Every structure is written in structure tokens, then in C-alpha cells.
């Protein structure tokens, strides 16, 4: 049975794994090539306190810098994401699809099925880790970079252990609840939370030890790329994995399998209660089916609320308040901050309030926040309805196809604006509460630019969705393009001879004008808006010309 499940899971997953491996390998190549060509004394001359925070070792060389910048965060998150999605799909996912009953119709116990699923998750994560290891050895060989003293294998092994931990976590939640959405939701939340906790907690004196409560600490803190495998830390992860899998076995055996039913939401309860029925029906019932844009909006309102909340409170208000608590020494050392490393998170001078917000909020998190919403809607808008086979019915109504594309776009634009406004409001309030004194107009300008940037990539996802009708192509295509073009924009300017090429990346038109300092760059705004409209027109044309898919 293990072989059967392994084969099926592998066939389901190999494309995603291959795309992830190629993207990460390309990123490593790109990063290492850049570091090879710049003066590394920038990094090694940094004060020790700062190097520790930035994860830069004293004897930093090209290899460890590149692995640190690319593999230790992006790579580990990708691998953990892969394991996590396999974990949530394993039991709960099959229950959602109504196939678990079929699987258990075979003469195999639930424990046996779970064990096979767990073994599959571990093996395929190991395959992913091996591919990363291979790429990690191949790239420096190709570039002729000396990586003596760098423990790629140890780094990848730590990555593998933490990835399996999150896979086991999502498997355990799925086994207990039978809800795959909850399984991946909780695991992703723990993953993101622990990633940030391990990064941010050591910045505060007195809270350094708090990081030890998070699994990511046992992956990252021992700096395996420099120091080799830390068996103590890996041991902690292994014990955690064992405990979670044991928990999963107990969970899956003790409960009734779920029928293929839908959960009862708060809105459903309110609609059923006589007192609130009328009001809720008007707000949530008839309103959400009044037009396509509203229906689409209702499908993504959960995502929007979470994203807007994170951008407003955590990335806005909290970052503003945090500034004044930061160690003074950090602020002075920050003047020496290496531009090359900061380029990855959007650049900026951390000693100024503007630079602080640029690094912490606008550089990476704000684009991600807007894109989470726009790419999700763009990728699923058309292809999602085709995959669920509702598009035929929708288009049986007297609407031109362009109308469907435009209605979905309305939702995307409104939601992107909501995230943009939440970011603006959060940063403005954070700046006020923290006494940072940012120019409100400049904050608004930067928030507008990030909204437009997110819409460009959302529209790109929409184009792929319209042209192919395949959610995965649209989703991974847009995410891949965003990562590649972000790196393009981050690394090319470091080398004067190719700096001009950065203009080919939409990211260039977002922060290169330094809008937090200088205010609105209307030319750049126009470029982003124009790009969005052009992509939208392309999406309408592609969708209009194509046969609908029949899944």
C-alpha cells in the first residue's frame, strides 16, 4: 500500500515540487552570482550585534551569504509548505473529497493508511530536500565559488526536519478534525508566527529566550550552514514529529469519519435564527448573490479580513510602536547596514523612521499582503469556476464573457484597495503612536503604489487563468513571476553595468523613487496602472477566444 500511495502522491505533486526546485535553484544562482561580484567586506566589517541579527557570520563568504539569503528562509518555507500541504491533504483532504471512505474500503486499518501517508510525506519531503541539496552543490560548482567550510548538507537536513515537523503538525490537526482547511490554516499560522517570532524576538532584550518556544528556532538558531548539524536541535524536532504523528494516529482512530458536508458558519447560524434572519439575509444572503463581483467578494472575504488585519495591526501599528523600543545601538549601527542585503527587503536606511518602515513593512510584507489577495482572486476567478464546473452554468446567462472577467476584476481591485488602505491606516497610526512623524501624504503614495503593484501581478494571474483555465498554472505562474521579478529588481542595481535592466521589473516602479521620502512618483504610478490595464485587456481577449475546459 505504501508504494501505491507514494506513487499517487508523487504523481499529484511532482510538478509543484519541480517548479519550487527550479525557482529556488535559479534564485540561488542569481544570488550567488551577485554576491560573487560585490565587495563582501561590507558584511564582514559589520559590528557583531548586527551580524547576529542578520544571521551573517564573522567569516561570511559568498557561499554562506547566498545560502543564508536564499535557502535558509525561502527554501525552508517552500519545503515546509510542501510537507504541510501533503499533511493536510493526507487524511482530511481525502475526507473533503469524499475519497477516504473509498480508500478505507480496502482491507487496511486507519493506522496503516495514516502510516503510509506519513511515510509518503516524509519520503517526498526528503526528495525535495535532496533536490535542494543537489542544486546547492551544483550552483557554486557552476559559478566557481569556493564553499569550503559551508555545510549545505547540514542546512538542508535541518530544513528537512523542520519541514517534516510542519507536515506532521498539519497531518495531526487533519486527523483529529477531518477539516483540511483547518489543518493547513493552523499549520501555516504556526509556521508564519514562528518564522517571525524567531526573527523578531531576539531584537528585544529580555525576550531572547521566547524564540525557543517556536519550532523554527530549532531549525535556524544553531546556524547549521556554518556549524553543521546540531543534533540537539534536530532531536527536539524529531521528538516533536514523533509526538505529532502519534497524536495523529490516536485522532484518526477515535472519531467518526466526516461525511462530505459543509461546515456551519456564523452567518448560517444568524440566518437560521428568527431574530436576525431578516437582517442577515439582506446583508449576507441576497447581497452576496446580487452580482458576480459580490459573489466573488463573498468567497474571499475571509482572506481579505485576515490580510487587512495583519497589514493594519501587525505590519502597521505594531511596527510603528516597536521602533521606539528598539535598542539604541541598533539604530546607530544601522547606518552601516549593507545595501546589498537590504535590497532583498526593499532597501532603505533603517536609522530613519522611513527606512524602518520600508524594511519592515513596505519592502516585502506589503507587496506580499496585496498579492496574496490579488493573485488568489486572479488565479481562481475564471479557472476556479472552470475547475468546479460552474462556468458553463454561469455563462448560460445572457452575459458576454468579458463581463465575467470584468466583474471578477472589480472584486480584485476593491479588495486590493482595502488592503492598501489598511496598510496606509496602520502605518499612519503606527507612525503617530510611535512618534515617527512620517509624512501622511507619502505614506498614502507608497500605499497606492503597492496596491497597483499587487494589481499588476493579480492581473497577470488573471491573464494566465483566462488563457489556460488552469488554477495551478495561474497561481504558480504569477507567484513565480513575482519572486523572479522581485529578485531581478533587488539584485541588478547592485551591479552598475546591468542596473538599468531593473526597469523591466514592475517592482522598480514601486520603491525606486523612494516614495516614503519623496512622495508620489506619478510617472511610476502611470506605468503600473498602464501595465494593469494592458494585462486586463489581454485577459479579456484570451478568455473570449478560448474553448471552456470541461474537467
Partner 1 sequence: MTEQLAIHTERLTKHYGDVEALVDLDLDIPLGEIFGYLGPNGAGKTTTIRTLLDEIRPTSGRATILGMDTHEQSVEIRRHIGYLPGDLALYPNLTGRDTLTYFANLRGGVDWAYVEQLAERLDADLTKKVGDLSSGNRQKIGLIQAFMNRPQVLIMDEPSAGLDPLVQREFQSMLREVAAEGSTVFLSSHTLSEVQRVAHRVGIIRNGKLIAVESVASLRAKAIRTVNLFFDQPVDGSVFEGLPGVRDVAVENQHVMLSFDGRMETLLKAITDGYSLVDITTQEADLEEIFLTYYRGEQVTA
CA distance linking residue 266 with residue 260, whole number of Å = 19
The residue behind cell 462530505 is: 260
CA distance linking residue 528 with residue 508, whole number of Å = 10
Choice between 19 and 395, CB closer to partner 1: 395
Residue 301 touches partner 1, criterion: CB under 8 A: no
Please report how close the Cβ of residue 185 comes to partner 1 at its closest, in angstroms: 17
Please report how close the Cβ of residue 299 comes to partner 1 at its closest, in angstroms: 8
From the list 19, 33, 53, 394, which residue makes contact with partner 1 (rule: CB under 8 A)?
A: 394
Residue 302 touches partner 1, criterion: CB under 8 A: no
From the list 396, 437, 496, 523, which residue makes contact with partner 1 (rule: CB under 8 A)?
A: 396
Residue 256 has phi, psi (to 5 degrees) of: -75, 140
Residue 54 has phi, psi (to 5 degrees) of: -85, 5
Cβ atoms of 17 and 75 within 8 Å: the answer is no
Q: Which three cell numbers stand for residue 368?
A: 506580499
Residue 286 touches partner 1, criterion: CB under 8 A: yes
Residue 550 touches partner 1, criterion: CB under 8 A: yes
Choice between 283 and 501, CB closer to partner 1: 283
> Measured on CA atoms in the order 279, 284, 285, 288, is the torsion positive or negative?
positive
Residue 274 touches partner 1, criterion: CB under 8 A: no
CB under 8 A: which stretch of 23-31, 173-181, 382-390, 514-522 binds partner 1? Answer: 382-390
CB under 8 A: which stretch of 178-186, 208-216, 260-268, 469-477 binds partner 1? Answer: 260-268
For residue 39, how many other CB atoms are within 10 A of its CB?
10
Residue 36 touches partner 1, criterion: CB under 8 A: no
Distance, C-alpha 529 to centroid of its chain: 24
The residue behind cell 503538525 is: 169
Residue 270 touches partner 1, criterion: CB under 8 A: no
Best CA proximity match to 263, nearest among 383, 95, 91, 384: 95
Residue 268 touches partner 1, criterion: CB under 8 A: yes
Q: Which of residues 220-249 bind partner 1 (CB under 8 A)?
A: none
CB under 8 A: which stretch of 111-119, 134-142, 197-205, 388-396 binds partner 1? Answer: 388-396
Residue 393 touches partner 1, criterion: CB under 8 A: yes
Choice between 280 and 487, CB closer to partner 1: 280
Q: How many residues does the chain have?
A: 551
Taking the C-alpha atoms of 182, 187, 189 and 194 in order, what is their torsion angle to the nearest 10 degrees?
160
Buried b (16+ CB within 10 A) or exposed e, 186-198: bbbebbeebbebb
Cβ atoms of 84 and 189 within 8 Å: the answer is no
Q: Which of residues 46-85 bind partner 1 (CB under 8 A)?
A: none
Choice between 148 and 550, CB closer to partner 1: 550
Please report how close the Cβ of residue 392 comes to partner 1 at its closest, in angstroms: 5
Please report how close the Cβ of residue 268 comes to partner 1 at its closest, in angstroms: 8
Residue 208 touches partner 1, criterion: CB under 8 A: no
Q: What is the largest CA-CA distance in the chain?
A: 73
CA distance linking residue 368 with residue 366, whole number of Å = 5
Q: For the chain, state the CA radius of gyration.
A: 24
Please report how close the Cβ of residue 75 comes to partner 1 at its closest, in angstroms: 36
Please report how close the Cβ of residue 4 comes to partner 1 at its closest, in angstroms: 27
From the list 1, 291, 364, 480, which residue makes contact with partner 1 (rule: CB under 8 A)?
A: 291
With left for phi above 0 and alpha for psi between -120 and 50, is residue 253 left, alpha or beta? alpha
Residue 398 touches partner 1, criterion: CB under 8 A: yes
DSSP alpha helix (H) spans, 273-334: 274-280, 287-288, 292-299, 301-309, 319-325, 328-333
Residue 205 touches partner 1, criterion: CB under 8 A: no
Choice between 299 and 514, CB closer to partner 1: 299
Best CA proximity match to 353, nearest among 497, 517, 241, 483: 517
Residue 19 touches partner 1, criterion: CB under 8 A: no
Best CA proximity match to 124, nearest among 91, 153, 154, 163: 163
Residue 395 touches partner 1, criterion: CB under 8 A: yes
CA distance linking residue 176 with residue 91, whole number of Å = 9
CB under 8 A: which stretch of 139-147, 284-292, 306-314, 485-493 binds partner 1? Answer: 284-292
From the list 108, 258, 295, 472, which residue makes contact with partner 1 (rule: CB under 8 A)?
A: 295
Residue 388 touches partner 1, criterion: CB under 8 A: yes
Residue 389 touches partner 1, criterion: CB under 8 A: yes
CB under 8 A: which stretch of 66-74, 259-267, 307-315, 326-334 binds partner 1? Answer: 259-267
CA distance linking residue 165 with residue 429, whole number of Å = 38
Choice between 8 and 545, CB closer to partner 1: 545
Please report how close the Cβ of residue 435 comes to partner 1 at its closest, in angstroms: 46
Residue 290 touches partner 1, criterion: CB under 8 A: yes
Binding residues for partner 1 (CB under 8 A): 260-262, 268, 285-286, 288-292, 295, 299, 388-400, 547-548, 550
Amino acid at each position: 500500500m505504501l508504494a501505491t500511495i507514494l506513487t499517487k502522491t508523487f504523481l499529484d505533486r511532482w510538478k509543484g515540487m519541480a517548479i519550487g526546485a527550479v525557482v529556488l535553484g535559479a534564485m540561488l544562482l542569481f544570488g550567488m552570482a551577485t554576491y560573487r561580484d560585490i565587495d563582501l567586506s561590507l558584511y564582514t566589517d559589520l559590528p557583531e550585534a548586527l551580524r547576529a541579527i542578520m544571521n551573517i557570520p564573522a567569516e561570511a563568504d559568498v557561499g554562506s551569504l547566498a545560502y543564508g539569503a536564499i535557502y535558509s528562509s525561502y527554501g525552508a518555507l517552500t519545503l515546509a509548505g510542501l510537507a504541510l500541504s501533503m499533511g493536510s491533504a493526507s487524511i482530511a483532504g481525502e475526507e473533503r473529497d469524499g475519497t477516504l471512505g473509498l480508500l478505507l474500503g480496502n482491507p487496511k486499518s486507519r493506522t496503516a493508511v495514516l502510516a503510509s501517508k506519513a511515510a509518503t510525506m516524509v519520503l517526498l519531503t526528503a526528495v525535495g530536500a535532496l533536490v535542494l541539496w543537489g542544486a546547492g552543490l551544483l550552483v557554486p560548482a557552476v559559478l566557481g565559488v569556493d564553499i569550503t567550510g559551508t555545510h549545505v548538507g547540514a542546512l538542508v537536513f535541518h530544513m528537512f526536519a523542520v519541514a517534516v515537523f510542519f507536515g506532521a503538525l498539519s497531518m495531526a490537526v487533519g486527523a483529529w478534525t477531518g477539516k483540511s482547511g483547518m489543518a493547513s490554516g493552523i499549520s501555516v499560522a504556526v509556521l508564519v508566527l514562528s518564522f517571525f517570532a524567531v526573527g523578531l524576538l531576539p531584537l528585544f532584550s529580555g525576550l531572547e529566550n521566547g524564540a525557543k518556544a517556536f519550532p523554527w528556532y530549532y531549525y535556524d538558531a544553531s546556524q547549521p550552514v556554518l556549524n553543521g548539524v546540531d543534533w540537539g536541535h534536530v532531536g527536539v524536532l524529531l521528538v516533536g514529529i514523533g509526538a505529532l504523528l502519534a497524536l495523529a494516529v490516536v485522532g484518526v482512530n477515535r472519531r467518526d469519519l466526516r461525511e462530505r458536508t459543509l461546515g456551519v458558519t456564523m452567518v448560517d447560524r444568524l440566518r437560521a435564527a428568527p431574530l436576525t434572519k431578516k437582517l442577515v439575509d439582506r446583508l449576507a444572503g441576497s447581497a452576496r448573490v446580487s452580482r458576480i463581483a459580490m459573489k466573488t467578494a463573498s468567497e474571499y472575504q475571509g482572506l481579505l479580513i485576515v490580510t487587512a488585519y495583519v497589514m493594519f495591526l501587525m505590519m502597521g501599528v505594531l511596527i510603528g510602536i516597536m521602533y521606539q523600543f528598539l535598542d539604541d545601538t541598533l539604530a546607530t549601527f544601522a547606518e552601516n547596514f549593507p545595501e546589498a542585503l537590504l535590497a532583498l527587503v526593499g532597501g532603505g536606511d533603517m536609522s530613519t523612521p522611513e527606512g524602518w518602515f520600508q524594511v519592515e513593512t513596505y519592502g516585502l510584507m506589503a507587496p506580499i499582503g496585496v498579492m496574496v489577495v490579488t493573485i488568489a482572486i486572479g488565479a481562481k476567478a475564471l479557472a476556479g469556476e472552470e475547475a468546479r464546473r460552474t462556468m458553463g452554468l454561469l455563462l448560460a446567462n445572457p452575459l458576454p464573457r468579458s463581463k465575467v472577467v470584468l466583474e471578477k476584476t472589480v472584486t480584485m481591485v476593491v479588495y486590493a484597495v482595502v488592503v492598501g488602505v489598511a496598510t496606509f491606516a496602520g502605518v499612519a497610526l503606527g507612525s503617530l503612536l510611535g512618534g515617527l512623524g512620517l509624512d501622511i501624504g507619502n505614506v498614502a503614495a507608497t500605499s497606492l503604489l503597492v496596491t497597483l503593484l499587487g494589481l499588476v501581478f493579480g492581473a497577470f494571474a488573471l491573464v494566465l487563468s483566462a488563457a489556460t483555465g488552469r488554477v495551478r498554472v495561474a497561481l504558480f505562474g504569477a507567484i513565480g513571476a513575482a519572486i523572479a521579478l522581485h529578485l531581478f529588481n533587488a539584485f541588478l542595481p547592485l551591479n552598475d553595468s546591468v542596473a538599468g535592466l531593473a526597469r523591466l521589473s514592475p517592482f522598480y516602479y514601486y520603491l525606486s523613487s523612494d516614495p516614503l521620502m519623496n512622495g508620489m512618483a506619478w510617472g511610476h504610478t502611470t506605468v503600473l496602472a498602464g501595465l494593469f490595464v494592458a494585462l486586463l485587456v489581454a485577459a479579456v481577449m484570451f478568455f473570449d477566444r478560448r474553448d471552456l475546459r470541461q474537467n
